[in-house]
Structure 1
Amino acid sequence: MEKLLEVKDLHISFHTFAGEVQAIRGVNFDLYKGETLAIVGESGSGKSVTTKSIMRLLPEQSAEFKSGEILFNNKDLTKASEKEMQKIRGKDISMIFQDPMTSLNPTMTVGKQIMEPLLKHQNLGKAEARNRALELLKLVGIPKPEVRLKQYPHQFSGGMRQRVVIAIALACNPQVLIADEPTTALDVTIQAQILELMKALQKKIDTSIIFITHDLGVVANVADRVAVMYGGKIVEVGTVDEIFYNPQHPYTWGLISSMPNLDAADAELYAIPGTPPDLLDPPKGDAFAARNEFALKIDLEKEPPMFKVSDTHYAATWLLHPDAPKVEPPEAVKVRMRKFPSAKTSLSKGGR
């Protein structure tokens, strides 16, 4: 598969009155043409900071790229000028933000907002841009587009506003579409419609999607691969089946165990104990160790490397070391692992 985007050993800090917050601490991932990569984790894990750094939308007065590369079509975006980024944003890489009401300008008609990237990046005349805006409204399923084109954001429902935001993001047929929790502000029914819409549109325009969410249920429906983030790092990455049915990192176990199970309505919902680490002073060793009931002594002393589980599946946990003791994952995880033909029901049966 063709590699569109490559993030290499990315470190990003924020300089605050309290000190330096080490928000991103060595993130690595790739994005391939036509795939959907989901980045999941709790609030504060670094998901949005990572993806906003790709668009270079972090505040310059406080954010600092400490080291690493973001290679897009073999160009390092961390070294690109603002003028160069303005040519890329909206044209080659687009973003759908979490709240459609704050993403849209309340003083401009929806039509003008959809036409804006077309006029800037596609060099279309106003008449051509208007016709393309009508096509985009139809594409995202908005009825009576001729009427809607002249209306303002407050005249649309939440779901329809998010469809407009998607239309703007797709206006120039971007190579990469970043969706930052695009369904969080919507009810469950509209959420499902928006997810179906994004899957259908991806096939039509052959774009690659980075989908940020804390909802693993959403991930199962949209992703090809999943990267699990914790404490400013990616701690596990694999195909959607590998992450859901053969998870290896205790943090991923916790996320999966905390998902409601419709087959066991009376079961107590699991919650990961404790809170994420303070990145003003990142912990030594594994950042998840303090919340990990399976933590080993080495977890408190040394950061684990990424151990290979398969050609597509890696996890940063000392439990995968050949000398680690045998550990049984939680029951909710074992139930899922039994459904995955190649899954192991426990860890550390010899080296990975």
Structure 2
Amino acid sequence: MTERILDVKNLRIDFHTYAGEVKAIRDVSFHLNKGETLAIVGESGSGKSVTTKSIMGLLANNAKVVSGSILYHDQDLLKKSEKEMQNIRGKDIAMIFQDPMTSLDPTMKIGQQIAEPLIKHKHLDKKKAWQQALEIMKLVGINDAEKRINNYPHQFSGGQRQRIVIAIALVCYPEVLIADEPTTALDVTIQAQILDLMKDLQSKIETSIIFITHDLGVVAGMADRVAVMYAGEIIEYGTVDEIFYNPQHPYTWGLLNSMPTLSSTKLEAIPGTPPDLLDPPKGDPFAARNPFAMKIDAEQKPPFFKVSETHYAATWLLHPNAPKVTPPDEIVRRWQLYRKMNNQTQVH
């Protein structure tokens, strides 16, 4: 039986603005198993970062958790005080933020910033904390760490700063690591190095990772399971192979179809824009952008339909009475590949 580390149930979060209540997170549920990587993917504004900031207890002042629970070892993090959360943040659950340029204090030496969680959570003296900071700098691939531990953030490149942010997050060996688009500002070569580094460190310290990204290509070799978010909801989730090779929701089709592959000759953008969450649509939130939308999509929100024991998608196209549609050629190619993979597995 796989051990669940984290369980988010029926989470709803609103933001109070001058224009009204923005219903940012709308009944989101997912779980994280011990030692796995769960990727949460979706366009900007889909609710990925808000969901994970609620786990850390770092929501903005105008945010309100309307309902739901976030269970970490059966303790609801939403009921913890700020003081209790300070004891959890960095020690048990750590986060790599989007932008390494703004995540580091420009006035503090790097060694001091990495050592700080060790002094607070592990109660080490400064000398021991700096020694461990030096070790993790070497672990994340900072060359000449003995000298560079006394440098300031501006003396490092973007890729090195991202490695330092990862070092700060991992220095206490947290049980859960939340990586919020950790490679967005980096070029492709450095991006690949950072992803390889995270996988390597995960195997060494046995941490469970929630990996947030808008780029499905990034998670292909990184994730065990994938949750696809749209308009504050999870609309499809499954294993990485199920989402990549047997996607069922038209939004997931659109995301995959906009990804460059060796077989695709052109990229297709998803038309339109996400709905206004001040006044969310009544039915399927993707209906207005969905070329396969039916009348019921505008009237009634689809439930989750079961595709397999690990794969679910919220689309009326999976209803037994729904008409059969032909998805884009790239998706048909993936489906064929998935069937071939399954046939080979059954033979062996």
Per the TM alignment, residue 336 of structure 1 is displaced from its structure 2 partner at its CA by 1.2
**Alpha-carbon displacement from aligned partner over 1:202-240 (angstroms, at most 9, x marks no partner):** 000000000000111101020000000001000000000
- Asked if 1:304 is matched to 2:298, the reply is no
- Structure 2: give runs of 5+ residues left out of the alignment: 343-348
Displacement of 1:261 after TM fit? 2.3
The 3 A distance-change label for structure 1 pair 69 and 157 is: same
Q: Deviations over 1:160-219 (max 9, x none)?
A: 000000000001100100000000001111001000000000000000000000111101
The percentage of aligned residue pairs carrying the same residue is 71
Q: Partner amino acid for 2:256?
A: I
Counterparts of 1:199-278 in structure 2, within 5 Å, are 199-264=199-264, 267-278=265-276
Letter of the aligned partner of 1:43 in structure 2?
Answer: S
Amino acid at match of 1:23: A
The one-letter code sitting in structure 2 at the alignment partner of 1:10 is L
CA RMSD of aligned residues (A): 1.1
Distance 1:189 1:78 in 2: 39
1:268 shift after superposition? 2.7
C-alpha separation in 2, matches of 1:328 and 1:176: 40
Question: Residue 280 of structure 1: which of 278, 281, 289 is its match?
Answer: 278
Structure 1 residue 263: Cα displacement: 3.1
Q: Which AA in structure 2 matches 1:252? A: T
For 1:194 and 1:215, the matched residues in 2 are separated by: 15
**What SS does the corresponding residue of 2:220 show, helix, strand or coil?**
helix
> Is the aligned partner of 1:293 residue 2:291?
yes
Aligned to 1:106: 106
State the shift of 1:343 in Å. Answer: 8.6
Local SS of the residue matching 1:262: coil
3-state DSSP class of the match of 1:221? coil
Residue 184 of structure 2 is matched in structure 1 by 184
Structure 1 counterpart of 2:50, which letter?
A: V
Q: Distance in 1 between matches of 2:162 and 2:272?
A: 34
In structure 2, the partner of 1:21 is 22
Unaligned runs of 5+ in 1: 345-352
Distance in 2 separating the partners of 1:101 and 1:270:
32
Is the 1:246–1:343 Cα contact (8 Å) retained in structure 2? no
| Residue number in structure 2 paired with 1:347 | none
Q: Does 1:37 align with 2:29?
A: no
Q: Is the 8 A contact 1:285 1:302 kept in 2?
A: yes
- The question of 1:82 aligning with 2:82 is answered yes
| 1:71 aligned residue | 71
C-alpha distance in 1, partners of 2:284/2:147?
56
Residue 37 of structure 1: SS of its match in structure 2?
A: strand
Deviation at 1:342, TM superposition (A): 7.0
1:338 aligned counterpart, secondary structure: helix
Q: Residue 6 of structure 2 aligns to a residue in which SS? A: strand
Deviation at 1:101, TM superposition (A): 1.1
Indicate how the Cα distance of structure 1 residues 32 and 7 shifts in structure 2: closer, same or farther if over 3 A, else same: same
Structure 1 residues 83 and 342, CA, compared in 2 at 3 Å: closer, same or farther? farther
Match of 1:316 in 2: 314
Q: How does 1:324-339 map to 2 (within 5 A)?
A: 324-339=322-337
- Whether the 8 Å contact between 1:337 and 1:343 is mirrored in structure 2 is no
**1:166 and 2:166 equivalent?**
yes
Q: Output one character per residue of 1:260-289: Cα deviation in whole Å (capped at 9) or x when no partner.
A: 12334xx23101111000000000110000
Deviation at 1:341, TM superposition (A): 2.3
Point out the more displaced range, 320-329 or 87-96.
320-329
Amino acid at match of 1:189: T
For the residue of structure 2 that corresponds to 1:238, the secondary structure is: strand
SS at match of 2:254: helix
Question: How many residues are treated as equivalent by the alignment?
Answer: 341
Task: Spell out structure 1 runs of 4+ moving beyond 4 A.
Answer: none
